[in-house]
Amino acid sequence: MKVESNSTKKALDYFLSQKEGTYLSVIEQTTGLGKTHAVIQKIAEILQKSPDLELKPKIFVVTSGIETRNEFFHDLKEKLPEFESRILLFESVPDQVKHFLEELLSKTDYENDQTLANDYLSSWFDQNTATFKDTTVLLKRIAKQYIFVKQENDTFGELSSRLKRTIYYDLKRLAQKEEIKLNTKQKRLNYLIKKAPWICDLFKDTDLSRYYVLIMTADKFVFPYKTAIGNEDNYWDLTFKNSQTPILFLDESDKIKSNWTNKLIESEMGSKDVEDMPTLIRRFYANILPAIGRMERIIIDAKDPSGKTNKTRIKQLYQVIKKTYDQYHLQSPLKIDPALLGDNTNKFLFNTGKSSFLFGLKKDEKYLVWKFNSQRLVNEITIDQKFYETHPEFRLSKVTSSFTRLLHYIAKTTYSIARNYHEFKINLNKKITDPEKLHNVYELSEEHLQIVNVILQPTNAEGRLAKYFIDNYLDKALNLKLPNIKASFTDDQTIYASGFRLFDLTVSEDANNNGQLRVYQQKTTPEQILASVANKMRTILLSSTSLNPSPLGNFDLNWVKNNIVNFLEIPTKLQEVLDLENRKRNQLIKSKVKIDTRLTGKNLMISGQTFSQALATLLRDENHLESTELQLERILNKYPARLIANRVSNGLDPDAPFLCEAERQDADSKISNTHFNFERKIRLLSAIINFLQLNQKNSTNNAFIIYTNAIIRIDELNWLKEAIEILNIPFPDDLFKVISSQNRQEIDDVKETWGKGKFQIMLTNKQALGRGTNLQYLLDKDYYQKHSHDFAIIDQRFVNLNEPFIDIAGIYIESLTHMFENPNNNGTQDLDDFKIRAGHIIYEQFELYDSNQTNLSFRDVRTRLQKYFGKISGNGMWDLLPAQDALAAELEQITGRLCRTNIKNKEMLIQYDYNFVNKIDWDYLSHKRTNVLIEDLIEQNKNRLSSNPKYQDRLATIKEKQELALINSGAAFLAKRAYKLRSLSETMQYQWVEMREWIVKHPRISTLSKIPDHLRKTVEGFYYRLSKPDAKYYYYHDQEEDPDFKNVLLIDSEQGKAQQKLDYLKFQKQVPINAQLTSLNLEKYAKYLNKIFKQNSWIKQALLREKYDLDFSKKSQWLLTPAAFNNLYKAAISEEIFALICQKYHLDFHEMRELSQNEFERFDGFLKLNDQRILYVDMKNYDSRRTTVLAKDVEKHIQNKLNESTGNAAVIINFYEFEKENAYRNSGIRNEINEKKIYYYPHLFRHNGEIDNALLQDLLDKVVRNDTSKK
């Protein structure tokens, strides 16, 4: 739609006038309303209005495909002819080389004479590129390939891809010969342009500073920018001298997310250049100390800020490597247990870093271990449950993680060594006055590469080994900022932040059949990239579905918003302008065009039909055809054998039962597929007949498209034609044109047929028809004039009757099933293909887990992946909201292609597979701006709109999920640290005591800044932020299964929201139906403390003197987490009060900090008895529900601790009598105290708050009295 000013342009004006330097903004507007035109108009305005040409901002335009890239480039040039030389179209290297050669030959008279053309190019290279010797040889080979082969081929592309690297090597040799220092990018660039001015014609992207607008595909943008001067930078990291903050437009942004996901996964999982991890570690182990002697003196003498030399750092690194090398016997080869492999020669183990899966194995993969065989002197990968349980460090998942961590550490340390060397040279040069004696200072990345090469000593065949190591193991920050998410015990562990890694365990193909363990890791994700660019550029997303909430179909914008500095919303008034523009457009179309929307094949959902009955009912209901039994039998008998389970040649039995979707759930997969395919094919047949009938009614309705999941094969086409012929429906010989991804160029032939007024149906699919493919066609001018009364002009202002472009008259969309990796993986694949698919399934399933659109638990995701890798069915997707939202967006995009032009047939036939109805999130569609065809579909399905609260409102937001993950990881840390306390140093034990003392004084805080800096990293993870200040919150966890609170399933400040989440967990059968919320209510908890303080005011005064916060009625922003409150605070407050009682009554009590190092935290302290023996004290804070747990603790846990300790006996004291009739009875120390005996007191304080006098008297009788007992 050619609009001079539209609502999208107004939104762009608003965003680009804001003061924020960098931000993310999103514009969602329907197809056909001029989004791309608005961007072109805005770019023209920016360039034409900038007074200082050198201060114009760099403008990046990233499109979803090549077609849209090229269209945008040509439209912008047409709009801005005066800036043509300042607009760069990024093309592939082969395309740039091809265009360069074409340009050279266009200046000759013999470009069509192959021999003369080749001679001319050869001569031109000799005259202009001779100083670049290897480059000249390569250019001549490329030219010969281009001229004589005549068609695009792999050899031309492969040779062209070597050019930039070859030019760079020639450049370095030339500079060495002329003794020119090229130690910066700018120096290399200047020298290259001086010595090879033709380079800017060959590779126009050599010097980006020459351009204002940079136009490229999403695939190009996602990978580093490589030039002929050797550098590789991300586009968003490029800096431009004196330029304003860059502007980035992502056109069809949701499709770009899909493109980036595919490219990132396929580039990693499809890579052949992956090294065996043990081999890499061996190389570093063997070479790192000898490397000291090979390095320049200046490298090993360089010092870090602490004064430590690189030589020392290298030796320390060797010791770290040696520890792993020795622990896992890496001097020995790796073998895979033949029993594990079975009949296969190799297997793959995939490990996401969170759980492991074996491809194709039936055995339980749970007990995989790395086990050294001392007889054979080999490391074996095998399954051994006992070894797995007794040697956790040799679990295969632990070993792979250990190797990965080590290689990352080596990369980080060698980078630090390179940085020391780099900065050392810079500082030395500051003191040197003679320019001839200056040290060469190159880019830090180059110097790092140099040092790793010196260490690894790669052979010629391993030329890229060092670069592979750095690229894969050096962590590179993407400039992410986390303004809203706190990070404490764990970093952001979402798939968006951490990416994924898969370990590939194979038997090598060498003679020794050794095992190899490789890691495929893609740490960069689409969401990371978007967050990074939004923190560096003014970033604007545009699409008709750019706000689609599904991570399966779009960026997870919730996560991105939490990781950027600024997100700019469209103001309400501007949203109303966008709404009005779309509403007017849709109303205008409805007033002039009859839209016939149909859901095809409802009768096929009915059970109890035969094949013949199903087909007959479909033809009658959908096509108004009364078919004879003979016609039905002939159609079914000709049905393709390939689509039938037993592949019978005489087709389907008309009287055999047809299984509808509900009936085939439990059927054999081959039988089920037969009925599934039949259902699809007869729906397709019915849709085709409807198109033919509409054409018979009005011949100007001649252009139709059918959108299937898979390309229709020749036997299916033949059957469709035979069926139509049997039904006596006339059709043209060229009824169908199949368009696949291999023959997309033939779309123009179909449009030409339509343009002549001839009937034809294009059969295609999602893979073949890219987002940018336009389906409108140019109708013959004379034909239009003759039949103009059959067409509707939507808006006369934007119509050129000399070139009447028409939208197609109708479409049939088959139910889409290939939108994401199917978690019901029942097929067999080539293993290389499977690795790529495995990458997709892992990424997609963890997207579902991390998004705010599902309540899938980690256990759910693990189970789904296990089923996928084990080829077990049962993983549903269509009941998940993200799948339904992704499908809804895809439908909107497909139908949007019929809404582009201002001339349309007066009748449009829009057909959908009836299976869509239960797979669409109707609420999502009904609450957004959408095109007129989807509006009509919604109108027909109003009964499917929900009156209940929106589904996603019952689910945790991504921020809440991350906070919950942090709460649980904090609890896991707490339990793990408590278990290891005795093995910690005294300093670490003291820090534990200090942490507990701080927490017990601060059950609530107003801000995290209250936490002392030295405790911040640890203590921060023990507080939960409420949505508004309060003294309570609500949560749920299974107390019996999870006593350490490591798996809290929900937490919320508001009881109503918490109950909604719990109800949903019940609905999903993730919790028992009788599950109840638990509240952490400080006011309620304080009731028994206040009873104690009322009876013993001296205790409260003593605590207040020590600055304990005892006013629990106050509301605060942060309260202790369930784990911290129940496992730290309640224990610590009871211990502290017991210590105060001992102090008051002069009982010789020693707190936890005075326990010996190897007994620390076994007990809470000890009392010294009159006979000088030691009586340990273990305080509990249990109500009556926990008394049975207390008894179990005594028998199974406390007794074991006592037996391992040097003291004589132990007393367990429960803090308070929560119920007057406590079932747990006294078994105190009144009588004789026996060795290694446990004694119990059910309460220190009675229900009314009084101290238990019986307990106190027992202590006074048995414990040493003095005036120096520890408070």
pLDDT in tens, 550-571: 999 999 998 898 788 899 999 9
Q: 954 pLDDT exceeds 50?
A: no
Examine the pLDDT at 1189 and tell me if it is beyond 90.
no
Query: DSSP secondary-structure letter at 276?
Result: B
Q: What pLDDT sits at residue 1201?
A: 84
User: Looking at the whole model, is its pTM more than 0.85?
Assistant: no
More confident residue, 276 or 485: 276
H/E segment holding residue 39: helix 35-49
**Mean pLDDT on 614-627:** 95
* CA dihedral angle for residue 1123, residue 1125, residue 1129, residue 1130, rounded to 10 degrees: -100
Query: pLDDT category, 471, cuts 50, 70, 90?
Result: confident
890 and 816 Cβ atoms separated by less than 8 Å: yes
Please state, in angstroms and rounded to a whole number, the distance separating the CA atoms of residues 264 and 258: 10
Which residues does residue 1015 pair with via DSSP β-bridges, in sequence order?
A: none
pLDDT digits (tens, 9 = 90+) for 1019-1044: 878 898 888 899 999 999 888 788 88
Going by pLDDT thresholds of 50, 70 and 90, the confidence category of residue 362 is very low
Q: Is the pLDDT of residue 486 over 50?
A: no
| pLDDT band, residue 805 (cuts 50/70/90) | very high
User: What is the location of CATH 3.40.50.300 in the chain?
Assistant: 1-88+243-252+535-547
Q: Which of 402, 292, 406, 408 lies closest to 353 in space, CA to CA?
A: 402
pLDDT exceeds cutoff 90 at 1161: no
The residue among 64 and 522 whose pLDDT is bigger is: 64
Question: What pLDDT was estimated at residue 1063?
Answer: 83
**Residues 208, 229: Cα–Cα separation, whole Å:** 13
Contact 735, 721 (CB under 8 A): yes
CA distance 1254 to 649: 94
- Residue 1050 in contact with residue 956, Cβ under 8 Å? yes
Mean pLDDT of the chain: 86
Give me the pLDDT at residue 347, please: 58
Residues 6+ apart with CB under 8 A from 410: 284, 317, 321, 473
How far apart CA 410 and CA 448 sit, in angstroms, is 12
Which is higher by pLDDT, 485 or 698?
698
The pLDDT of 743-764, averaged and rounded, is 94
Is 33 a residue whose pLDDT tops 50? yes
| Contacting residues for 715 by C-beta, under 8 A, at least 6 apart | 640, 642
Provide the pLDDT confidence category of residue 358 given band limits of 50, 70 and 90: low
What is the fold, at CATH topology level, of the domain defined by 1-88+243-252+535-547? Rossmann fold (3.40.50)
Tokens representing 621 are 């209901």
1118 — pLDDT class (breaks 50, 70, 90): very high
pLDDT confidence bin for 667, thresholds 50/70/90:
confident
Does residue 632 surpass a pLDDT of 80?
yes
> 1063-1072: buried (b, 16+ CB within 10 Å) or exposed (e) per residue?
ebbeeeebbe
Tokens matching residue 179? 């003794």
Evaluate whether 1119 touches 1003 at the Cβ level (below 8 Å): yes
Phi, psi of 5 (to 5 degrees): -150, 125
Amino acid at 388: Y
**3-state DSSP assignment of residue 1200:** helix
Is the pLDDT assigned to residue 433 strictly greater than 90?
no
Region of poorest pLDDT, from 179-193, 677-691, 1173-1187: 1173-1187
Highest mean pLDDT among 232-241, 1069-1078, 1222-1231: 1069-1078
Residue-level pLDDT at 80: 93
CB 206 within 8 A of CB 200: yes
Between 151-165, 176-190, 483-497, 929-943, the lowest mean confidence (pLDDT) is in 483-497
